[in-house]
A and B are shown apart, each in its own frame.
Chain A
């Protein structure tokens, strides 16, 4: 026990004395939480729209003003022909072309039937998809308006129409911050914990101080525990800072129990630190450790459901996501913070993360050798 006391004393002294790392531990979570959620936003606005109106009628103008009033589109200009509009798309000035045919109003009233044409620039897939969908729904809406106006109300029977009325649970305003911030917090804790832990041990190898440790009678698991605990504490501190920032900046207060959140984090951090430890046992230099950790952290983040939904991944990718501890942390963060999930709801996640922690740490301890 006394050995551990000395180890911890040394470790904390070194961390607090490190002029590069200490500020980073404090500044990174604050800056990333303030900047990232604002940028990492799926909401598509400012879709550039070109309109080719061959009709110039009251109806076509109504449609256009309805579209521009929605706030999603920015009208780039009216073109006299589709070719001219398409040139705007080609030169990247425009994302969407809406072509209203000649006789739009006349056909709509007389024939009760008309078509408009939409062309989408699909280079930016997300923008194209959402832009097309927004435009479609606005036109559909307009269509309803026109129908109610043109149909003579019949006394006998009305046309049966059913409408879908949807409610967004847990995030009623579909606020992306609410969705992104807990995920980014999970990612931050992973990065800081994993990197710092891996680099710290490899640094001792690089400098040569680990030799001096290895000739002492210190026990392997004492040494490893002495390395894990400081970073576990740092992980907790970073997380608390992050929670504070997300409350102050975004007004996010976890719906569920804070104790549960920290309880899960405590286990999750063990898994993350185990990962860092394992990386360090395979590396001789900080450069190697940095690259290996970077490689895995990239996969962890991109395949952990932070930016893209795991449910829409192909089967093979789902398998990778299931083998990724970050997946569970992000999920549990969103569950507890947004849904207010209880202990019983996160038991499966907790068990899986516990397995990760056990496997990664045991592997690292087995792989760490005082002799070679």
Chain B
């Protein structure tokens, strides 16, 4: 199996505070990797290091075969990212956002048009194409943000709590999009607080106080912790946490 994310003892310190402590993990091509943890456990910090938004204090990592210290621009060409905060331009229309992000990832204008149209059709946004993104409901915005994040066909897409605040039906639709992308060979690296979503992941890790405390498939984790659901596994691990919000 091809490894697309490989980290070794990746650490981020802010003064005395260790936000992410010696994280070592491997993620394989085309898998949906769940990255779980309580608020403040260090998920976002770890993810930001992997995306090249934050420089690690120590440790090493390779993303899509590129070193995160020396080949940042190569790393960035091969990843997509969707942050906790909605980050498309609200004062641009749906199509203008697609054109802009497609353009700065270096897609040709014809490519942008074709992919953009396909994307709009897939999301059923035909009648909203010329509307400002700011006027769309949250669920649609999130689906659009995800589709824009994978517009340039990255090897890996990082999703930071993509379904926060979204209704259950839209969440299902969102996960349909995720599965579709994974089928196309895009590796999904996703954080979430919804345990039903955790069950959808191929493998997942659970972070507690900056450390990765568990890493396996959902069924193996349930077996290991003698739990019937991922909820129980999460409680079992997160209960020992000293940090909270």
> When chains A and B are docked, how far (Å) is the Cα of A7 from the Cα of B96?
11
> When chains A and B are docked, how far (Å) is the Cα of A219 from the Cα of B104?
10
Task: Given A3-B103, A10-B100, decide whether A371 and B53 contact each other with a Cβ distance below 8 A.
Answer: yes
In the complex, the chain A residue whose C-beta lies closest to that of B160 is: A211
In the complex, the chain B residue whose C-beta lies closest to that of A10 is: B100
Task: Given A3-B106, A217-B105, decide whether A10 and B96 contact each other with a Cβ distance below 8 A.
Answer: yes
Whether A215 and B104, one on each chain, are in contact in the complex, defined by CB atoms closer than 8 angstroms, is no
> When chains A and B are docked, how far (Å) is the Cα of A240 from the Cα of B128?
39
Instruction: Render B99-115 as a binary contact track against A, CB cut-off 8 A, 1 for contact.
Output: 11101111000000000
Whether B55 and A212, one on each chain, are in contact in the complex, defined by CB atoms closer than 8 angstroms, is no
Cβ of B206 within 8 Å of any chain A Cβ, yes or no, is no
In the complex, the chain A residue whose C-beta lies closest to that of B75 is: A217
Instruction: Render B141-178 as a binary contact track against A, CB cut-off 8 A, 1 for contact.
Output: 00000000000000000000000000000000000000
Cβ of A342 within 8 Å of any chain B Cβ, yes or no, is no
Task: Given A14-B92, A371-B53, A371-B72, decide whether A215 and B100 contact each other with a Cβ distance below 8 A.
Answer: no
Instruction: Render B73-103 as a binary contact track against A, CB cut-off 8 A, 1 for contact.
Output: 1101101110101111111100010011101
Q: How large is the interface on A (under 10, 10 to 19, 20 to 34, 35 or more residues)?
A: 20 to 34
Whether B55 and A215, one on each chain, are in contact in the complex, defined by CB atoms closer than 8 angstroms, is no
Cβ of A151 within 8 Å of any chain B Cβ, yes or no, is no
Cβ contact of B83, chosen from A208, A219, A371, cutoff 8 A: A208
In the complex, the chain B residue whose C-beta lies closest to that of A18 is: B91
In the complex, the chain A residue whose C-beta lies closest to that of B83 is: A211
Interface residues of B in 187-235 (CB under 8 A from A): none
In the complex, the chain B residue whose C-beta lies closest to that of A222 is: B104
Cβ of A372 within 8 Å of any chain B Cβ, yes or no, is yes
* Chain A contact surface mostly: helix
In the complex, the chain A residue whose C-beta lies closest to that of B77 is: A217
Whether A371 and B105, one on each chain, are in contact in the complex, defined by CB atoms closer than 8 angstroms, is no
Cβ of B65 within 8 Å of any chain A Cβ, yes or no, is no
> When chains A and B are docked, how far (Å) is the Cα of A209 from the Cα of B81?
12
Cβ of A112 within 8 Å of any chain B Cβ, yes or no, is no
In the complex, the chain A residue whose C-beta lies closest to that of B96 is: A13
Task: Given A13-B92, A215-B81, A216-B76, decide whether A7 and B86 contact each other with a Cβ distance below 8 A.
Answer: no
Task: Given A10-B96, A13-B96, A371-B53, decide whether A209 and B106 contact each other with a Cβ distance below 8 A.
Answer: no
Cβ of A258 within 8 Å of any chain B Cβ, yes or no, is no
> When chains A and B are docked, how far (Å) is the Cα of A280 from the Cα of B79?
27
Residues of chain A within 8 A of B73, CB atoms compared: 217, 219
Whether A208 and B51, one on each chain, are in contact in the complex, defined by CB atoms closer than 8 angstroms, is no
> When chains A and B are docked, how far (Å) is the Cα of A208 from the Cα of B81?
13
Residues of chain A within 8 A of B53, CB atoms compared: 211, 214-215, 370-372
> When chains A and B are docked, how far (Å) is the Cα of A10 from the Cα of B99?
9
Cβ contact of B106, chosen from A2, A13, A17, cutoff 8 A: A2
B39 to chain A, nearest CB (A): 18
In the complex, the chain B residue whose C-beta lies closest to that of A6 is: B103
Cβ of A129 within 8 Å of any chain B Cβ, yes or no, is no
Whether B87 and A208, one on each chain, are in contact in the complex, defined by CB atoms closer than 8 angstroms, is yes
Whether A212 and B106, one on each chain, are in contact in the complex, defined by CB atoms closer than 8 angstroms, is no
> When chains A and B are docked, how far (Å) is the Cα of A211 from the Cα of B80?
12
Cβ of B52 within 8 Å of any chain A Cβ, yes or no, is yes
Whether B85 and A211, one on each chain, are in contact in the complex, defined by CB atoms closer than 8 angstroms, is yes
In the complex, the chain A residue whose C-beta lies closest to that of B85 is: A208
Whether B76 and A217, one on each chain, are in contact in the complex, defined by CB atoms closer than 8 angstroms, is yes
Instruction: Render A1-32 as a binary contact track against B, CB cut-off 8 A, 1 for contact.
Output: 01101110110011001100000000000000
In the complex, the chain A residue whose C-beta lies closest to that of B73 is: A217
B92 to chain A, nearest CB (A): 6
> When chains A and B are docked, how far (Å) is the Cα of A371 from the Cα of B53?
4
Whether A215 and B52, one on each chain, are in contact in the complex, defined by CB atoms closer than 8 angstroms, is yes
Whether A215 and B92, one on each chain, are in contact in the complex, defined by CB atoms closer than 8 angstroms, is no
B58 to chain A, nearest CB (A): 15
In the complex, the chain B residue whose C-beta lies closest to that of A14 is: B91
Residues of chain A within 8 A of B135, CB atoms compared: none
A148 to chain B, nearest CB (A): 77
Whether A212 and B87, one on each chain, are in contact in the complex, defined by CB atoms closer than 8 angstroms, is yes
Task: Given A10-B96, A217-B76, A371-B54, decide whether A2 and B103 contact each other with a Cβ distance below 8 A.
Answer: yes
Whether B103 and A215, one on each chain, are in contact in the complex, defined by CB atoms closer than 8 angstroms, is no
A224 to chain B, nearest CB (A): 14
Cβ of A218 within 8 Å of any chain B Cβ, yes or no, is yes
> When chains A and B are docked, how far (Å) is the Cα of A14 from the Cα of B97?
11
A204 to chain B, nearest CB (A): 9
> When chains A and B are docked, how far (Å) is the Cα of A117 from the Cα of B74?
85
Whether B96 and A216, one on each chain, are in contact in the complex, defined by CB atoms closer than 8 angstroms, is no
B50 to chain A, nearest CB (A): 10
In the complex, the chain A residue whose C-beta lies closest to that of B87 is: A212
Whether B81 and A212, one on each chain, are in contact in the complex, defined by CB atoms closer than 8 angstroms, is yes
Whether A218 and B104, one on each chain, are in contact in the complex, defined by CB atoms closer than 8 angstroms, is yes
Chain B residues within 8 Å of A, Cβ to Cβ: 51-55, 72-74, 76-77, 79-81, 83, 85-92, 96, 99-101, 103-106
Chain A residues within 8 Å of B, Cβ to Cβ: 2-3, 5-7, 9-10, 13-14, 17-18, 207-209, 211-219, 370-372
21 A-B residue pairs with Cβ-Cβ distance under 8 Å, sorted by A, are A6-B104, A9-B99, A10-B100, A13-B91, A14-B89, A14-B91, A208-B83, A208-B87, A209-B89, A211-B85, A212-B88, A212-B101, A215-B52, A215-B80, A216-B76, A217-B74, A217-B106, A370-B72, A371-B53, A371-B54, A372-B55
Q: For the complex of A and B, list the 10 residue pairs with the smallest distance between their C-beta atoms, beginning with the closest.
A: A6-B103, A208-B85, A212-B87, A215-B81, A217-B76, A217-B77, A208-B87, A10-B100, A217-B73, A209-B87
